Amino acid sequence: MTIKAVLFDFDGVIADTLTYHVQAWQKVFAEYGVKILPEDVCLLEGQLAEQIGRSLAQQKGLSLDEMTLKKMVQQKRDIYNQITKARIYPATQKLIEYLKQNSIKIALVTGAILQNIEPVTGKEFLKNFDAIVTGKDVTHTKPNPEPFLTAANKLDVKPEECVVIENAPLGIRAAKRAGMFCIAVKTTIKNETHLREADKIVEDLEKVPIEKLLS
């Protein structure tokens, strides 16, 4: 397998954001008397906020019309932006620099919106990526393979030439459906049962065996 590109998820892979997303969802749903657990959110991560909100409501037996759902999603985004102290994981920059030094293309493939990404990374950091695909850029989000296939197309590489780094079941499933090798990091979900569809599971970005994959 010749690796020409590495595709990164954002939340929980590039940056430590999930804690604040969870807290924001918990505050929004608490107004409706619904308790949201961290795992509830982490297992849905990779989709647009609207999809996550709808799924959480359905799982908790809460019937919402679209207007109410949109209001909740906006509230969640406002709360997230108010409370977030998210930062890029320490190992992120080191891994990206290594890939660029070895002429490996990199892409950011996420269900997040740029308005939530830029405050964490800064615009300069995002210039590292040869392609960025957000949930707003595709018709179907994860677990559909479209986001990863779109990124591969933008990078002008074949799916089998890509390695995906993910942290969530829906993202892992999307990567495998796209025909890509997938490494799961246990940054947000510790139970490996939820990550079992990945080709390899590691603790975090520092443990990603990228040198072996490129050799």
- What pLDDT score does 213 carry? 82
Q: Of residues 92 and 215, which shows the higher confidence score?
A: 92
In this structure, are 22 and 35 located in the same domain?
yes
What is the pLDDT averaged over residues 91-120?
Answer: 94
Q: Nearest Cα to 73, choosing from 53, 59, 56, 44?
A: 53
pLDDT in tens, 107-143: 999 999 898 899 999 999 999 999 999 999 999 999 9
In this structure, are 106 and 34 located in the same domain?
no
In this structure, are 144 and 187 located in the same domain?
yes
Above 70 in pLDDT, residue 85?
A: yes
pLDDT in tens, 164-212: 999 999 999 999 999 999 999 999 999 999 999 999 999 999 999 988 8
What is the pLDDT averaged over residues 77-97?
Answer: 94
Residue 24: which CATH number? 1.10.150.240
- What pLDDT score does 39 carry? 95
In this structure, are 12 and 24 located in the same domain?
no
Above 80 in pLDDT, residue 36?
A: yes
pLDDT in tens, 44-59: 999 999 999 999 999 9
In this structure, are 49 and 109 located in the same domain?
no
d(CA 96, CA 94): 6
- What pLDDT score does 116 carry? 87
- What pLDDT score does 212 carry? 85
Which tokens in the block code for residue 111?
Answer: 């269900």
Which of the four pLDDT bands, split at 50, 70 and 90, describes residue 1? Answer: low
d(CA 81, CA 93): 23
d(CA 141, CA 47): 6
In this structure, are 182 and 110 located in the same domain?
yes
In this structure, are 75 and 105 located in the same domain?
no
Sheet holding 105-109, edge to edge: 131-133, 105-109, 5-8, 162-166, 181-185, 200-202
The three-state secondary structure class of 105 is strand
Q: Is the pTM of this model over 0.85?
A: yes
Kindly report the number of other CB atoms within 10 A of residue 161's CB atom. Answer: 18
In this structure, are 100 and 120 located in the same domain?
yes
pLDDT in tens, 55-78: 999 999 999 999 999 999 999 999
In this structure, are 54 and 146 located in the same domain?
no
Q: How many domains does the chain have?
A: 2
| Burial class of residue 69 in the structure, from the number of CB atoms within 10 Å of its CB (0-12 exposed, 13-18 middle, 19+ buried) | middle
In this structure, are 60 and 94 located in the same domain?
no
- Residue finishing a domain among 83, 102, 124: 83
- What pLDDT score does 210 carry? 87
Residue 136: which CATH number? 3.40.50.1000
In this structure, are 115 and 60 located in the same domain?
no
Above 90 in pLDDT, residue 35?
A: yes
Domain around 74: 18-83
Kindly report the number of other CB atoms within 10 A of residue 76's CB atom. Answer: 21
Above 90 in pLDDT, residue 86?
A: yes
